[in-house]
């Protein structure tokens, strides 16, 4: 009886140790999403999103390995963004063309729109254009941090109308693509009446879809509020992966985006970076 009695405190102690270890591990994972970027203008602290795990893990891996240390913010455009992460920028001469370097791989797109959008301070992945990169894969290391502009209600309404028209064209194009064999058959048989009829049908389907879903192609209430008060770059939404945001150091970001630049938008005075994974 006595031997069994003394086993219970031991089991409780082991259970408590396991709980403490689990708590410490979970806390470490949470804190590991915070990265400090140290620059000559000051420090910028960013939080990486769990919603974009491939970009998050890749960025943390590179930061932990010291990949970003001593690289430049090689492209800075006032009222737009600051860009870095090109390994060829490390110690680069003043006349060297930068912006095409990387770790030798790309990351699959993790565009989560409209939940994650290009508000001021958003951390996003750079990429090559749609003509050579239709899947919108991200650069393995190059990133940009958004500054952007503050927009009026009328400006946002105009942009929203353009985005909606583009969305309708894309929707119509996808419907047509799904019926490519039928279209080709009608074209080969020179059945213009059939082609016209199909076109009208697809237009009607597109208009009905957007009439039933008026939010398609537009901005959410959150986007409108942010873009009209904080600022950002709404024309990039849905085109690039947003995978984090600045949580401290917007004043530093403002200073960097206002620096003097020369050819290819490169700052006249080199702005280097160093990164550390930190806690809250």
Q: What is the pLDDT of residues 253-270, one digit of tens each?
A: 999 999 999 999 999 999
Average pLDDT over residues 65-94: 97
**Contact residues for 106 (Cβ-Cβ < 8 A; gap 6+):** 127, 133, 137, 138, 139, 140
Give the integer Cα–Cα distance in Å for 97 and 81: 19
* pLDDT tens figures, 165-190: 988 998 999 999 999 999 999 999 99
Binned at pLDDT 50, 70 and 90, residue 26 comes out as: very low
* pLDDT tens figures, 91-125: 999 989 999 999 999 999 999 999 999 999 999 99
Do residues 240 and 247 lie in contact, with contact meaning Cβ atoms separated by under 8 Å?
Answer: no
Binned at pLDDT 50, 70 and 90, residue 216 comes out as: confident
Indicate the domain borders of the chain. Answer: 34-150+232-278, 154-212
pTM of the predicted model as reported, rounded to 2 decimal places: 0.82
**Per CATH, is 34-150+232-278 categorized as 2.40.100.10?**
yes
CA atoms within 13 A on the CB side of 279: 5
Binned at pLDDT 50, 70 and 90, residue 280 comes out as: low
pLDDT of residue 76: 98
């Amino acid at each position: 009886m006595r031997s069994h009695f003394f086993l219970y405190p031991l089991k409780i102690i082991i259970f408590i140790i396991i709980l403490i270890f689990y708590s410490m591990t979970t806390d470490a994972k949470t804190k590991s999403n915070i990265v400090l970027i140290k620059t000559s203008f000051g420090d910028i602290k960013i939080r990486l999103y769990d919603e974009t795990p491939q970009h998050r893990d890749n960025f943390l891996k590179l930061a932990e390995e010291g990949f970003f240390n001593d690289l430049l913010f090689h492209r800075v455009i006032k009222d737009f963004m600051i860009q870095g992460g090109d390994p060829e920028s490390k110690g680069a001469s003043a006349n060297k063309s930068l912006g095409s370097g990387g770790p030798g791989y790309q990351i699959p797109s993790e565009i989560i729109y409209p939940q994650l959008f290009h508000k001021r301070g958003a951390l996003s992945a750079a990429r090559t254009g749609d003509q050579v990169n239709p899947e919108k894969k991200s650069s393995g290391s190059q990133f940009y941090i958004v500054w952007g502009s503050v927009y009026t209600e009328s400006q946002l309404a105009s942009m929203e109308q353009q985005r909606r028209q583009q969305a309708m064209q894309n929707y119509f194009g996808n419907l047509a693509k799904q019926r490519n064999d039928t279209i080709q058959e009608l074209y080969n048989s020179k059945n213009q009446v059939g082609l016209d009829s199909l076109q009208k049908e697809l237009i009607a389907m597109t208009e009905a879809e957007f009439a039933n879903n008026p939010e398609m192609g537009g901005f959410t209430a959150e986007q409108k509020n942010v873009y009209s008060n904080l600022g950002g770059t709404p024309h990039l939404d849905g085109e690039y992966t947003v995978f984090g945001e600045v949580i401290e150091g917007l004043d530093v970001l403002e200073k960097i985006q206002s620096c003097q630049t020369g050819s290819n938008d490169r700052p006249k005075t080199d702005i280097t970076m160093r990164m550390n994974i930190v806690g809250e």
